[in-house]
């Protein structure tokens, strides 16, 4: 059935890798699965790709690049939110990307995310001497929060009942020792009802409020 029509290429290999990762997660990317799907031997793949690490990096880039390509318009704050949400949604659709982004250094891919975020930081009136720090903090929050959200989504699973699992977790929190975990118990109900995307945006808003407070725009 999987008869080869086009000749092999790095692009076809990377596309197949993304499909395997989407279908079965990190563990789904295997040279055997890849050779099956592409109807070749492992040597053919190694001709186009140095090793599995490079293939994973290329697959990550194939998902992240389009998400960062769009350059939204609007006020700096809104553009920052749009960039962040684009990455959030890309990771949500391809949860395996999270581990790559979070545990490879974000400089690895290339500095596109830093550039996008940084341009908004500049537009927000942050003083020049603080550009790198503020932009880095925002990038780290965006990548880190999106990654941890993907991890939660993986627990629920593709066909899982989100409400049921949140409820189960909330019940676990409510059963904790009241002396050791008063806050967690008090907050279990809010966690049951929370929305991942909204909370991610709340984090961006919190950071933006911090930027405005520390660096009030002179008007």
Partner DNA sequence: ACCTGAACACCGTTCAAGT
Residue 47 contact partner, candidates DNA, its own copies, none, CB within 5 to 8 A by sort of partner:
DNA
Q: What is the DSSP string of 119-171?
A: HHHHHTT--GGGHHHHHHHHHHHHHHHHHHHHHHHHHH-TT--HHHHHHHHHH
Q: Check binding of 57 to DNA (CB under 7 A).
A: no
User: Is the distance from CB of 187 to CB of 169 less than 8 angstroms?
Assistant: no
Q: Check binding of 51 to its own copies (CB under 8 A).
A: no
CA distance 202 to 137: 15
User: Quick one: which segment of 42-50, 59-67, 102-110, 116-124 binds DNA (CB under 7 A)?
Assistant: 42-50
Taking CA atoms, 34 is separated from 3, 8, 12, 22, 68, in Å, by 14, 12, 11, 13, 27
Closest CA to 216 of 131, 121, 130, 125: 125
Interface pick for its own copies out of 8, 72, 169, 174 (rule CB under 8 A): 169
- Output the six-digit token pair for 101: 């982004």
Q: Which is nearer to DNA, 41 or 157 (CB)?
A: 41
Which residues inside 144-163 make contact with its own copies, applying CB under 8 A? Answer: 144-145, 147-148, 150-152, 154-155
Handedness of CA 155, 159, 161, 162 (dihedral sign): positive
Q: Check binding of 187 to DNA (CB under 7 A).
A: no
Q: Check binding of 119 to its own copies (CB under 8 A).
A: yes
- Output the six-digit token pair for 109: 């891919």
Residue 33 burial by CB count (10 A; 0-12/13-18/19+): exposed, middle or buried?
middle
Q: Which is nearer to DNA, 40 or 136 (CB)?
A: 40
CA distance 16 to 23: 11
User: Is the distance from CB of 123 to CB of 83 less than 8 angstroms?
Assistant: no
Q: Which is nearer to DNA, 42 or 74 (CB)?
A: 42
Q: Check binding of 37 to DNA (CB under 7 A).
A: no
Q: Check binding of 53 to DNA (CB under 7 A).
A: yes
Q: Check binding of 98 to its own copies (CB under 8 A).
A: yes
Catalog residues that contact DNA under the rule CB under 7 A: 4, 7-8, 29-33, 39-44, 46-48, 51-53
Catalog residues that contact its own copies under the rule CB under 8 A: 98-99, 102-108, 111, 114-115, 118-119, 121-122, 128-129, 131-137, 140-141, 143-145, 147-148, 150-152, 154-155, 169, 173, 176, 180-184, 186-187, 190-191, 194, 199, 202-203, 205-214
């Amino acid at each position: 059935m999987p008869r080869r029509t086009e000749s092999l290429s790095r692009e076809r290999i990377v596309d197949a890798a993304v499909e395997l990762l989407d279908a079965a997660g990190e563990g789904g990317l295997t040279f055997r699965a890849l050779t099956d799907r592409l109807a070749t031997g492992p040597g053919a793949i190694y001709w186009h790709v140095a090793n599995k690490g490079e293939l994973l990096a290329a697959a990550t880039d194939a998902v992240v690049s389009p998400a960062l390509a769009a350059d939204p318009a609007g006020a700096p704050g809104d553009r920052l939110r749009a960039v962040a949400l684009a990455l959030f949604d890309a990771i949500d659709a391809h949860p395996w990307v999270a581990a790559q982004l979070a545990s490879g250094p974000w400089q690895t891919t290339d500095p596109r995310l830093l550039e996008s975020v940084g341009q908004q930081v500049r537009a927000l009136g942050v003083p020049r001497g603080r550009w790198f720090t503020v932009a880095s903090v925002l990038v780290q929050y965006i990548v880190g929060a999106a990654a941890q959200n993907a991890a939660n989504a993986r627990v629920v699973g593709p066909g899982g009942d989100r409400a049921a699992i949140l409820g189960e977790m909330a019940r676990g929190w409510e059963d904790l020792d009241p002396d050791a975990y008063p806050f967690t118990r008090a907050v279990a109900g809010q966690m049951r009802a929370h929305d991942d995307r909204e909370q991610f945006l709340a984090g961006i808003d919190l950071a933006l409020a911090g930027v405005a407070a520390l660096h009030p725009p002179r008007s």
